[in-house]
Structure 1
Amino acid sequence: MRLSTILAAIVTFTSVQASPVERRAPQTGDCITPTSSALQKERTVLLASKLIPDIYDDFEPSTTVAVYYHGDFVPYNASQGALDTLTAPSVYFPKPTRDGDDTTYTLIMNDPDALGDALGPSFLHWIRRGLKPSCDTPATDGGQDVRVYIPPTPPPLLPPTAHRYALTILREPKGGYAPDVLENLLKSASFDLRAYQQETGAKVIGSTYFLGSFTA
């Protein structure tokens, strides 16, 4: 048997036997491919970060969330300084398998470490509704703001100096939001994601987060 034939057989065998490595990095356009392992990793990270149960009840993600600041992908638990997050990020997410093409979504960004238990569950940084899933252009290029983006500005000397900033995708209710519910969101910086779901009928389907501090 010729050496070239043997080498070709080895290459073929290796490629068949190799297992794909699931990485927390974009793989489908600018989205993270929503494989079962990627979705399970998302839930595991939310549990490890204590975002479940601090702001979420336990849930099974049905989409992945990819966040970019200034074109740079932000992995789970990545550190971002105040200058890195002055402008709103670009957010991408793929359509959940069981959702119809007419389904719309809301993005919520909040900080559960800002106010303390006495003042409220979290500080609301951004709500953008009417989004469509997209992996080619930012989903956040569409839709409209309910609460305009407020950049993260955690105080540099008050603990914790690094805050968790959660970016959550919710499936919007089929009948849309009641206008008075959206108006109430603008009256307070304190925000309760659980109460929001109960009042609106929206449902959390995916999330990511980063650590924000005055300096990264």
Structure 2
Amino acid sequence: MPLVTSDQAAEISLKQDGIIPDVIDSFQSKTMLMVSYGNGKEVALGNKLAVADTQHTPQVSFQSDSPDDKYTLIMTDPDAPSRTNPKFREWRHWVVSNISGSASDFQPAKVSQGTELTPYMGPAPPGGSGPHRYVFLLYKQVGGAHVTALTTPLGDKRQSFKAKQFSGQAHLELVGANYFFAENA
């Protein structure tokens, strides 16, 4: 039996649940993105969490290459209003930019740890719409990152956001991803 690395397991999971290609293209993971809502409610590549347990801003941690690096975190729902009818794909739940690489544990909602472009909004899938995928994406802000795109508020419209398009315009490099499922029956 061939050995599967954690990076390969993540990619297999992201493809299996359609995040690749619905939200992102295939990429080389460079860090493990750990997301915790506390009390043992950890995001773990497609596990299920209760909507009620995900309404507060989670703790996010990752390993940085350098303390001088800056990162952008995005949380998005590609299944709005449902996976079978994703006419509002993607729903932008949270965007934080200019996160310092020196922080191994951070709460991006705190301005001192980054610039919150979109305040955190917990999952609120419509009743009966089935399970929604809530995807966390961590991007490294590379040398040519467009500072304007990373410091300008994105506006009030949260629907029809495209993480792939935003990251391309801002010259961000995807380095980590994680996700969970939640639904309102």
Which of 141, 159, 169 is matched with 1:199 structurally?
169
Scaled by the length of structure 2, what TM-score is found?
0.83
Which of 28, 32, 35 is matched with 1:67 structurally?
35
Q: Which runs of 5+ in 1 are unaligned?
A: 1-21, 23-35
Aligned position for 2:131:
162
Q: Does 1:188 align with 2:157?
A: yes
Residues 134 and 214 (structure 1), Cα distance of their counterparts in 2 relative to 1, 3 Å cut: farther
Residues 139 and 43 (structure 1), Cα distance of their counterparts in 2 relative to 1, 3 Å cut: farther
- Cα distance in 1 for residues equivalent to 2:107 and 2:10: 19
- Cα distance in 1 for residues equivalent to 2:156 and 2:149: 11
- Cα distance in 2 for residues equivalent to 1:193 and 1:136: 24
- Cα distance in 2 for residues equivalent to 1:41 and 1:135: 26
Aligned position for 1:106:
72
SS in 2 for 1:185: coil
Instruction: Single out whichever of 131-140 and 165-174 deviates more from structure 2.
Output: 131-140
C-alpha displacement at 1:194, in angstroms? 1.5
- Cα distance in 2 for residues equivalent to 1:181 and 1:83: 30
Aligned position for 1:37:
5
- Cα distance in 1 for residues equivalent to 2:75 and 2:98: 15
Aligned position for 2:47:
78
Any conservation in 1 of the 2:23–2:164 contact (CA below 8 Å)? yes
Residues 134 and 181 (structure 1), Cα distance of their counterparts in 2 relative to 1, 3 Å cut: closer
Aligned position for 2:98:
130
Q: Does 1:146 align with 2:117?
A: yes
Aligned residues: 175
Higher helix share: 1
Aligned position for 1:19:
none
SS in 2 for 1:197: helix
SS in 2 for 1:169: strand
Q: Percent identity?
A: 26
- Cα distance in 2 for residues equivalent to 1:176 and 1:63: 19
Any conservation in 2 of the 1:65–1:206 contact (CA below 8 Å)? yes
Scaled by the length of structure 1, what TM-score is found?
0.72
C-alpha displacement at 1:100, in angstroms? 3.6
Any conservation in 2 of the 1:173–1:200 contact (CA below 8 Å)? no
Any conservation in 2 of the 1:106–1:129 contact (CA below 8 Å)? yes
Instruction: Single out whichever of 178-187 and 86-95 deviates more from structure 2.
Output: 178-187
What value does the CA root-mean-square deviation take over the aligned residues? 2.4
Aligned position for 1:53:
21
C-alpha displacement at 1:180, in angstroms? 5.4
The structure that has the greater radius of gyration is 1
Q: Which runs of 5+ in 2 are unaligned?
A: none
- Cα distance in 1 for residues equivalent to 2:99 and 2:22: 25
C-alpha displacement at 1:101, in angstroms? 3.0
